[in-house]
């Protein structure tokens, strides 16, 4: 069944074709107000995830520790609500982590090459809308530098390079150096690009003077919500978006928190979906 209209959604809900996935996470220390933080290793429900494999990396799924679990239905699953509340004011993205790795060094000033494992979700032309991120696993150094990544775009063109931005503080980063663990940075695309199928390398212009450990990732933004301290806000994805975000089979749902202070505070929420 395709959820073509409100009547189809109501019918699916009436017939019990709904899944509700609650989550709750303990506070994480962030680098600065506005510096995105990945929830992957935060303690709570779901349990904390692990640092992924180096090099070719990992394709995480719904069953990977750290992911917000939702089952694979017999038909398509569409997100209908995304709600959150917590101790401090935050903005949160609900994302599907399509691929991620670790093992990149903050002291290398040459291209750190790898071959990202082939994606299993949002592949081929569906890669339009996939984004590139960097994740700090262990803090790199305090010496400022810039970063670029080499990628295959949404049309399958290889050898594309992201614009040069400041490492951890450029693109959508917003922090200071050195970063904190779990800091998240989004890299912009080259002009005309709007998606990514694969990553091939990450290059720092100079050493940060501390190797640390960081990784790259390919992810998909599915929904966003903002809330004030001690407030719960729910985003209705049926009425407040132009189309229902589809949750693909085995999606690795996780959160990126954009805080207003130097911690995320304790937070909780729910993801709801309907089968169709």
Give the pLDDT confidence of 45-86 residue by residue, as tens digits: 999 999 999 999 999 999 999 999 999 988 889 999 999 999
| 8 Å CB contact between 57 and 235 | no
- Residue-level pLDDT at 11: 80
Whether 233 maps to a domain, the answer reads yes
Whether 68 maps to a domain, the answer reads yes
Domain count, the chain: 1
Q: Tell me the pairing of strands 44-45 and 18-25.
A: antiparallel
Q: How confident is the model at residue 2 (pLDDT cuts 50, 70, 90)?
A: low
Q: Where are the beta strands (DSSP E) in 87-236?
A: 90-100, 112-113, 131-138, 146-153, 160-161, 165-166, 184-187, 196-204, 213-227, 231-236
Whether 74 maps to a domain, the answer reads yes
Whether 259 maps to a domain, the answer reads yes
Whether 37 maps to a domain, the answer reads yes
| 8 Å CB contact between 133 and 187 | yes
% of the chain with per-residue pLDDT over 70:
99
Whether 132 maps to a domain, the answer reads yes
Look at residue 1 and tell me whether its pLDDT is greater than 90.
Answer: no
Q: Which residue has the tokens 């091939």?
A: 200
Whether 13 maps to a domain, the answer reads no
Taking residues 91-105, what's their average pLDDT? 98
Q: How confident is the model at residue 4 (pLDDT cuts 50, 70, 90)?
A: low
Look at residue 202 and tell me whether its pLDDT is greater than 70.
Answer: yes
Report the DSSP beta bridge partners of residue 26.
none
- Residue-level pLDDT at 39: 98
Domain extent, residue 135, equals: 26-264
Whether 8 maps to a domain, the answer reads no
């Amino acid at each position: 069944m395709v959820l073509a209209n409100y009547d189809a959604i109501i019918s699916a809900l009436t017939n019990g074709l709904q899944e509700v996935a609650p989550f709750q996470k303990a506070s994480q220390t962030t680098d600065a107000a506005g510096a995105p933080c990945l929830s992957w290793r935060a303690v709570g429900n779901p349990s904390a995830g692990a640092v992924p494999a180096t090099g070719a990396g990992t394709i995480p799924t719904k069953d990977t520790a750290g992911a917000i679990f939702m089952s694979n239905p017999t038909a398509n699953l569409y997100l209908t609500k995304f709600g959150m509340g917590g101790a401090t004011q935050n903005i949160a993205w609900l994302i599907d982590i399509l691929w991620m790795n670790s093992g990149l060094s903050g002291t290398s000033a040459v291209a750190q090459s790898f071959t990202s494992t082939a994606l299993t979700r949002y592949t081929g032309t569906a890669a339009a809308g996939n984004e590139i991120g960097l994740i700090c696993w262990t803090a790199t150094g305090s010496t400022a530098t810039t970063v670029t990544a080499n990628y295959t775009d949404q049309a399958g063109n290889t050898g594309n390079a992201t614009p040069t931005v400041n490492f951890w503080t450029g693109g959508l980063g917003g922090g200071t150096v050195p970063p904190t663990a779990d800091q998240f940075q989004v890299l912009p695309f080259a002009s005309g690009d709007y998606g990514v199928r694969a990553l091939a390398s990450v290059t720092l212009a100079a050493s940060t003077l501390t190797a640390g450990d960081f990784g790259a990732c390919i992810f998909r933004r599915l929904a966003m919500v903002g809330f004030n301290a001690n407030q719960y806000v729910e985003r209705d994805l049926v009425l407040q978006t132009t189309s229902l975000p589809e949750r693909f089979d085995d999606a690795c749902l996780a959160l990126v928190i954009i805080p207003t202070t130097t911690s995320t505070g304790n937070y909780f929420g729910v993801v709801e979906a309907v089968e169709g």
